[in-house]
A and B are shown apart, each in its own frame.
Chain A
Amino acid sequence: MNFAFSEEQEELRRTVRSFLEDKSPSAEVRRLMETEEGFDPAVWRQMAEQLGLQGLAIPEEYGGSGFTYVELVVVLEEMGRALLCAPYFSTIALAANTILHSGDDAARKELLPGIASGETIATLAFTEDNGRWDAEGITMTATKSGGAYTLDGHKMFVLDGHTAGVIVVAARTGDGISLFQVAGDASGLGRTALQTMDQTRKQARLEFSGVPAKLIGAEGKGWDTLGRVLDLAAVALAAEQVGGAQKCLDMAVDYAKVRVQFGRPIGSFQAIKHKCADMLLEVESAKSAAYYAGWAAAELNDELPVVASLAKAYCSDAYFHAAAENIQIHGGIGFTWEHDAHLYFKRAKSSELLLGDPTYHRELLAQRIGI
Chain B
Amino acid sequence: MDFRFNQGEEGFREEVRTWLGEHLRGEYAALGGGGGPADERGWDVRLAWEKELGQAGWIGLGWPKEYGGRGASIVEQGIFNEEYARANAPARTSFFGEGLLGPTLIAFGSEEQKQRFLPGILRAEELWCQGFSEPDAGSDLANVKTRATLDGDEWVVTGQKVWTTLAHHAHWIFAVCRTDPDAPKHKGLSFLLLPMKQPGIEVKPLKQLTGSAEFNEVFFDEARTSADLVVGGVNNGWKVAMGTLGFERGTAFLSMQLRFDNECQSVIDYAQKHDLARDPLVRQKLADAWIGVQIMKYNGLRTLTKLLATGSPGPEASTSKLYWSAWHQRLGELEMELMGPWSEVLAGAPYEPDDFQTTFLASRAETIYTGSSEIQRNIIGEQVLGLPREPRPTEGTPR
Q: Interface residues, chain A, CB within 8 Å of chain B? A: 1-6, 9, 70, 253, 256-257, 264-265, 267-270, 272-274, 276-278, 280-281, 284-285, 287-289, 291-292, 294-295, 298, 307, 310, 313-314, 359, 362-363, 365-366, 369, 371
Contact = CB atoms under 8 A, between A and B. Distances in A.
Instruction: Give chain A's interface secondary structure class.
Output: helix
A277 B376 contact: yes
Contact of A1 (B2, B316, B387): B2
Nearest to B376: A277
A268 B380 contact: no
A363 B277 CA distance: 11
B378 A273 contact: yes
A362 B284 contact: yes
B273 interface: no
A365 B2 contact: no
Contacts of B304: 1, 3
A289 B295 CA distance: 6
Interface residues of B, number: 50
A270 B305 CA distance: 31
Interface of B, helix, strand, loop or mixed by DSSP: helix
Contacts of A5: 1
8 tightest A-B CB contacts, nearest first: A288-B298, A273-B381, A277-B377, A362-B287, A267-B387, A277-B380, A268-B388, A274-B377
A291 B319 CA distance: 18
A295 B283 contact: no
Contacts of B376: 277
Contact of B322 (A267, A277, A359, A371): A277
Contacts of B271: 371
9 contacts: A1-B301, A1-B304, A3-B302, A3-B305, A268-B387, A268-B391, A284-B316, A295-B2, A371-B271
| Residue from the set B302, B376, B391 with the largest chain A CB neighbour count within 10 Å | B302
A257 B387 contact: yes
A110 B304 CA distance: 45
B342 interface: no
Nearest to A365: B287
B301 A3 contact: yes
B294 to A, nearest CB: 6
Given A3-B305, A4-B309, A363-B284, A278 B377 contact: yes
Contacts of B319: 280-281, 284-285
A285 B299 contact: yes
Contacts of A70: 1
A288 B304 CA distance: 12
Contacts of B286: 366, 371
Given A314-B291, A362-B291, A371-B283, A264 B377 contact: no
B387 A253 contact: yes
Given A281-B323, A284-B319, A362-B283, A4 B305 contact: yes
Contacts of B374: 270, 274
B108 interface: no
Interface in B258-311: 268, 271-272, 277, 280, 283-284, 286-288, 290-291, 294-295, 298-299, 301-302, 304-306, 308-309
Interface in B369-392: 374, 376-378, 380-382, 384-391
Nearest to B291: A310
B27 interface: no
Contact of B299 (A257, A273, A284): A284
Interface stretch (B3-11, B28-36, B174-182): B3-11
B233 to A, nearest CB: 33
A310 B298 CA distance: 12
A291 B380 contact: no
B80 to A, nearest CB: 14
Contact of A277 (B5, B9, B305, B381): B381
B75 interface: yes
Contacts of B299: 284-285, 288
A98 B382 CA distance: 45
Contacts of B380: 276-277, 280-281
Given A257-B387, A284-B299, A362-B288, 4 more contacts: A3-B298, A4-B305, A281-B380, A366-B286
A6 B1 contact: yes
Nearest to B265: A369
Given A313-B291, A365-B291, A371-B277, A1 B5 contact: yes
Contact of B2 (A2, A267, A273, A281): A2
Given A3-B1, A366-B286, A371 B385 contact: no
A293 B286 CA distance: 20
A281 B376 CA distance: 11
Contacts of A253: 385-387
Given A277-B322, A288-B299, A366-B286, A265 B377 contact: no
Interface string B301-337: 1101110110000001001001100000000000000
A267 B268 contact: no
A1 B272 contact: no
A363 B387 contact: no
Contacts of A268: 387-391
Nearest to A295: B1
Contacts of A269: 390
B381 A288 contact: no
Contacts of B2: 1-2, 295
A287 B6 CA distance: 25
Contacts of A310: 291, 294-295
Q: Which of B272, B294, B302, B389 is packed against the most chain A CB atoms within 10 Å?
A: B294
Contacts of B287: 313, 362-363, 365-366, 369, 371
A209 B73 CA distance: 66
A260 to B, nearest CB: 10
Contact of B388 (A265, A294, A365, A371): A265
Contacts of B280: 363
A186 B6 CA distance: 54
Contact of A256 (B75, B283, B302, B387): B387
A289 B6 CA distance: 23
A256 B381 CA distance: 11
Nearest to B285: A362
Contact of A281 (B9, B75, B322): B322
B8 to A, nearest CB: 12
A2 B1 contact: yes
B148 to A, nearest CB: 33
